[in-house]
C-alpha cells in the first residue's frame, strides 16, 4: 500500500501564504514596476481571506481582525495602500502584511487543537486508564497511525477493511482474519482479528459516523462489548476519513470516551 502524501486545504493556504510573502518582499525591495501592484493586491487579499477563515476556525478573534485589516488595506476594489503614497508608508504596510501573512500561514495551517474534558465512566462499565496491551496491539496501533489510504478505498467499510488488512499483512502481522466470530450467543464479529485472537480492530468510516449520531452510539456499544467480551484492552478502533473529518469535535469526544475505557482509537487518513 503506497503511503500517499496528504494535502489539505490548510496546506494550500500555507503555499499561498508563502507565495504572497515572496511577492510582498519583492515589493518592499522595489523590484517591480507600479503595474505589478494590481496583481499583488488580488493575491494578497485572497490569501488573507483564506487565512481569516482558518483563524476563525481556531477562534483566534484578534488574528481574524488583524488579517481582515490586511484585506482592507490591499483589496483590489478600493485599496487603502497604493504605489502613489509615500514610499515609507508603502514599505511599512507591505512589511506589516508580510509578517501577518507569514506568521498566520505557519500557525493556522494546522487543524485547531480541541480541548475536551475526559469522558465520564459508563454506568456498569469500569474505566480502564491503565491498560496492559500486548506488543502485537502496540505494533498494530503504530502501524495504522502511519497508514494513509486512497479516497476510493474508503468508500465503504468493507473496502477500508480490505485496505487495512493488506497494510497489516505487508507489515508482517500473523494470524490475520476478517469478520471473526468473538464468541457468545449474540453472534457478533470483529472486522479484523490479529494474532489469532490477541488483538481486534474494528473499522469505521468518519463520514458515516458524522452523518448519523446513532452510528456513533453503535460504535461505542460495539467497542465496549468487543473489548469486555474478548480483547480486554487489546481492541483498536480504526476510523478512516479525510484529515478535517478526523479532528471533528464529535469524533474527538468519541475517541476520548473510548480511550478512557482503555480502547485504542486511530484515525486513518484518506487522500
State the pLDDT at residue 10.
Answer: 60
108 vs 23: CA distance, rounded Å: 20
- Decide if pLDDT at 13 tops 80: no
Confidence of residue 83 (pLDDT cuts 50, 70, 90): low
Tell me how far CA of residue 17 lies from CA of 38, 96, 98, 256, in angstroms. 17, 14, 9, 34
Dihedral sign for Cα atoms in the order 227, 232, 237, 238: negative
pLDDT tens for 220-245 read 999 999 999 999 999 999 999 998 89
- Decide if pLDDT at 1 tops 70: no
Q: Which of 205, 154, 116, 107 is nearest to 1 (CA)?
A: 154
pLDDT tens for 104-157 read 887 776 554 433 333 333 333 333 444 455 677 888 998 888 888 888 888 899
179 vs 17: CA distance, rounded Å: 47
111 vs 190: CA distance, rounded Å: 32
SS3 81: coil
- Decide if pLDDT at 94 tops 60: yes
Confidence of residue 176 (pLDDT cuts 50, 70, 90): very high
53 vs 50: CA distance, rounded Å: 5
Exposed, middle or buried: residue 138 (CB in 10 Å: 0-12, 13-18, 19+)?
Answer: middle
State the pLDDT at residue 202.
Answer: 96
State the pLDDT at residue 34.
Answer: 62
Phi, psi of 243 (to 5 degrees): -55, -35
Q: Which of 109, 101, 107, 103 is nearest to 74 (CA)?
A: 101
Among 21-30, 43-52, 160-169, the minimum mean pLDDT is found in 21-30
State the pLDDT at residue 27.
Answer: 75
State the pLDDT at residue 190.
Answer: 96
Domain made up of 135-270: CATH architecture = 3-Layer(aba) Sandwich (3.40)
250 vs 213: CA distance, rounded Å: 9
Q: Which of 155, 136, 246, 249 is nearest to 201 (CA)?
A: 136
Amino acid at each position: 500500500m503506497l503511503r500517499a502524501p496528504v494535502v489539505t486545504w490548510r496546506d494550500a493556504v500555507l503555499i499561498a501564504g508563502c507565495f504572497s510573502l515572496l511577492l510582498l518582499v519583492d515589493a518592499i525591495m522595489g523590484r517591480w514596476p507600479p503595474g505589478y501592484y494590481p496583481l499583488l493586491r488580488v493575491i494578497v487579499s485572497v490569501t488573507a481571506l483564506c487565512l481569516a477563515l482558518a483563524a476563525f476556525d481556531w477562534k483566534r478573534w484578534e488574528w481574524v481582525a488583524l488579517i481582515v485589516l490586511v484585506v482592507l488595506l490591499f483589496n483590489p476594489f478600493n485599496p487603502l495602500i497604493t504605489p502613489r503614497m509615500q514610499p515609507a508608508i508603502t514599505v511599512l504596510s507591505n512589511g506589516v502584511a508580510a509578517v501577518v501573512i507569514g506568521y498566520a500561514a505557519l500557525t493556522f495551517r494546522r487543524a485547531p487543537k480541541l480541548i475536551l474534558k475526559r469522558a465520564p465512566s459508563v454506568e456498569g462499565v469500569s474505566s480502564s486508564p491503565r491498560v496492559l496491551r500486548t506488543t502485537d496491539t502496540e505494533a498494530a496501533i503504530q502501524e495504522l497511525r502511519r497508514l494513509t489510504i486512497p479516497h476510493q478505498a474508503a468508500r465503504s467499510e468493507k473496502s477500508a477493511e480490505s485496505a487495512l488488512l493488506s497494510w497489516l499483512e505487508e507489515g508482517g502481522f500473523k494470524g490475520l482474519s476478517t469478520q471473526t466470530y468473538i464468541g457468545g450467543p449474540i453472534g457478533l464479529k470483529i472486522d479484523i482479528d490479529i494474532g489469532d485472537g490477541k488483538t481486534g480492530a474494528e473499522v469505521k468510516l468518519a463520514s458515516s459516523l458524522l452523518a448519523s449520531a446513532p452510528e456513533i452510539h453503535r460504535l461505542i456499544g460495539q467497542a465496549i462489548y468487543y473489548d469486555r467480551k474478548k480483547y480486554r484492552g487489546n481492541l483498536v478502533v480504526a476510523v478512516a476519513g479525510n484529515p478535517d473529518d478526523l479532528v471533528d469535535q464529535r469524533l474527538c469526544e468519541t475517541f476520548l470516551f473510548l480511550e478512557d475505557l482503555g480502547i485504542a482509537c486511530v484515525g486513518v487518513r484518506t487522500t
